[in-house]
Structures are given as structure tokens and as C-alpha cells.
């Protein structure tokens, strides 16, 4: 259940933090950061963002193509081996090719293919992805960017679009991997939250709503964990709270229907409904407050 909880709730938290850092890096907000804060910067910098945008324009001169390719190659070579490095090098190779710079194109494509081979070799050495059941959920889904961009550009040619601009749009949409330090912080935060407030939740769900015994807890936890693991592996976002609470309700009804305290169930359902409204209201008020302070237009 702990693993499934992290697979569901922690994923959303990690995504929000990573998205904020990606946006700030691409916007240039982190340019003046001190060296000790460099871990906050993501792989797609403002320079790479500008190069990708320039490749998406309609009339691409050889000078524009070569300039963007040089920026992407430079940005890729400063990155550690990863999907951004491979994608930038592959797109750079195609941009050099369009700019009729065959030597540069061959050099960057060779580097891109080597990057992909290194990523495959690294993934093959990992043990966790080979674990039954869990392995499929944690295994990296590596993209072969040469094949991907070849397919995108072939489709663009058939549709009478500019192939290189379509390829640039594909790379621009690439999302980064979540950094390890974000994963650790989210894991520790969830563990601390469970340790601090867990007993109150256990008391409410396991004693007040319905009296649970170990076998009932096992049934409810197994049901909720299975649901979260299956939906998580399919990329679906399902609430841990809703899953475990309704599983416990089902266990209570299996004992006998009058074992379930319906008044408490009603309060829980109302809390779920009002949480959505309250979150929307707080979000609205925060935006208005930031606008009053001049922090938002």
C-alpha cells in the first residue's frame, strides 16, 4: 500500500515541482542563481528553447538552421547522458543536414546514436526493472529519437509541411525526467505526513467508521493497493484516499451493513465534494492577492 500510495499521490507532487522548475529554467529565471543552487536548473535552458522556436518558423534560411543546430549541439554536450541529450543531438543533426553541412550532421548524429546506445546499456544493467510485476512500472521507456523524428518528418512531408519544424515541435514537447532529489524529498514528505497524521486517519477509518480486525485491514489494503498499482501502470490518476476509504466501506458492508456508520460516511463524502470547491476558491483568492501585490499581470 505504501508503494501504491507513492505511485499515485507522490507522482502528482513530483510532476508539479518538476513542471515549475522546467518553466522557470526555460524562461531564464534561474540565470542569476548561485552555483550551489544549480541543481534547480532543468535540461531545457532558455537558449535551447529559443533555438527550438527558431526551427519552428516558416522560412528557414541555412544560416538560421546552422545557428539553431550549433546551439542545440552545444546545449546537448553540456548535459549528462539522457533523453534531452539524445533528442537535441538528433534534431541538431537534421538541422545541419538541412543547412547542407554534412560533416557537422554526421558528427552530431554519431553522438546521438552513441547516447542512445549508452542509455540502453545503462537500463540493461539495472536490477529493479527486471523484478516481476513491479519492474514494468519502474522501467524507463526509452525513445529512439532518430526513428521518432524520421517518422514525424516523413508524415510532415506527406502533409506538405516543413519537416524540420515538425521535428522541432516534437522535441520542444519533450518532458524531463524527475530529478532524484525531488523523488527523495517527496518520499520523505509523504512518510512524515503519514507518521504525523496517520494515527488520526486510522482511528477514523478503522475504528469510528467501521471496527476493523487484521483480516479486514488486509483485505482493504490489498484491494486499494491493487487498484492503485493497476491504474498507475496504465497512467491513470486515482486518489489514494478515495480508494482506501471505499475499500474499507466495502469490507464493513461485507461484515454486515449496519456495521458501517453511515453518518460518518456522509461526512466524508461531503468533505470530498467541498474540498474541490474550497480548493478552487483558495486558488482564485491567491491569484487576486498576487495581482494586488503586483506579482501577476
Number of CB atoms found within 10 A of residue 10's CB = 19
H or E stretch covering 84 = helix 83-98
pLDDT tens sequence across 169-183: 999 888 777 888 998
Reply yes or no on whether the pLDDT at 91 is more than 90. Answer: yes
Reply yes or no on whether the pLDDT at 133 is more than 70. Answer: no
So what's the pLDDT on residue 89?
94
Reply yes or no on whether the pLDDT at 238 is more than 90. Answer: no
Percent of the chain with pLDDT over 70: 99
Rounded CA-CA distance 204/191 in Å is 19
So what's the pLDDT on residue 41?
84
Reply yes or no on whether the pLDDT at 236 is more than 70. Answer: yes
So what's the pLDDT on residue 144?
93
So what's the pLDDT on residue 45?
81
Rounded CA-CA distance 238/72 in Å is 38
3-state DSSP of 228-287: HHHHHHCCCCCCHHHHHHHHHHHHHHHHCHHHCCHHHHHHHHHHHHHHHHHHHHHHHHHH
* DSSP H helix total and E strand total for the chain: 13, 0
Rounded CA-CA distance 220/206 in Å is 10
Closest CA to 146 of 135, 138, 154: 154
Mean pLDDT over the full length of the chain? 87
With contact defined as beta carbons under 8 Å apart, do 44 and 91 qualify?
A: no
So what's the pLDDT on residue 199?
79
The dihedrals phi and psi of 44, each to the nearest 5 degrees, come to -90, 100
With contact defined as beta carbons under 8 Å apart, do 50 and 71 qualify?
A: yes
Rounded CA-CA distance 251/257 in Å is 10
Rounded CA-CA distance 101/223 in Å is 59
The Cβ-side half-sphere exposure at 102, using a 13 Å CA radius, reads 0
Amino acid at each position: 500500500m505504501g508503494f501504491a500510495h507513492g505511485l499515485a499521490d507522490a507522482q502528482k507532487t513530483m510532476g508539479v515541482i518538476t513542471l515549475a522548475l522546467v518553466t522557470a529554467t526555460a524562461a531564464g529565471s534561474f540565470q542569476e542563481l548561485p552555483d550551489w543552487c544549480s541543481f534547480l536548473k532543468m535540461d531545457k535552458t532558455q537558449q535551447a528553447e529559443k533555438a527550438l522556436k527558431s526551427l519552428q518558423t516558416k522560412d528557414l534560411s541555412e544560416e538560421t538552421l546552422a545557428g539553431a543546430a550549433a546551439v542545440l549541439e552545444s546545449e546537448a554536450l553540456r548535459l549528462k547522458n539522457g533523453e534531452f541529450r539524445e533528442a537535441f543531438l538528433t534534431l541538431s543533426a537534421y538541422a545541419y543536414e538541412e543547412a547542407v553541412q554534412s560533416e557537422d550532421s554526421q558528427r552530431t548524429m554519431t553522438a546521438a546514436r552513441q547516447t542512445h546506445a549508452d542509455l540502453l546499456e545503462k537500463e540493461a544493467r539495472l536490477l529493479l526493472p527486471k523484478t516481476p510485476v513491479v519492474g514494468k512500472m519502474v522501467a524507463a521507456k526509452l525513445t529512439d529519437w532518430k526513428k521518432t523524428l524520421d517518422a514525424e518528418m516523413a508524415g510532415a512531408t506527406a502533409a506538405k509541411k516543413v519537416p524540420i519544424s515538425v521535428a522541432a515541435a516534437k522535441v520542444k514537447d519533450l518532458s524531463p525526467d524527475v530529478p532524484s532529489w525531488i523523488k527523495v524529498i517527496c518520499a520523505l514528505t509523504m512518510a512524515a505526513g503519514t507518521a504525523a497524521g496517520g494515527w488520526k486517519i486510522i482511528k477514523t477509518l478503522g475504528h469510528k467508521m467501521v471496527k476493523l480486525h487484521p483480516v479486514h485491514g488486509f483485505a482493504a489494503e490489498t484491494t486499494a493497493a491493487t487498484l492503485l498499482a493497476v491504474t498507475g501502470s496504465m497512467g491513470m490518476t486515482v486518489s489514494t484516499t478515495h480508494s482506501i476509504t471505499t475499500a474499507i466501506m466495502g469490507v464493513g458492508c461485507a461484515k454486515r451493513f449496519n456495521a458501517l456508520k453511515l453518518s460518518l460516511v456522509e461526512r466524508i463524502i461531503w468533505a470530498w465534494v467541498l474540498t474541490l470547491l474550497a480548493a478552487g476558491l483558495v486558488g482564485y483568492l491567491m491569484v487576486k492577492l498576487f495581482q494586488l501585490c503586483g506579482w501577476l499581470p
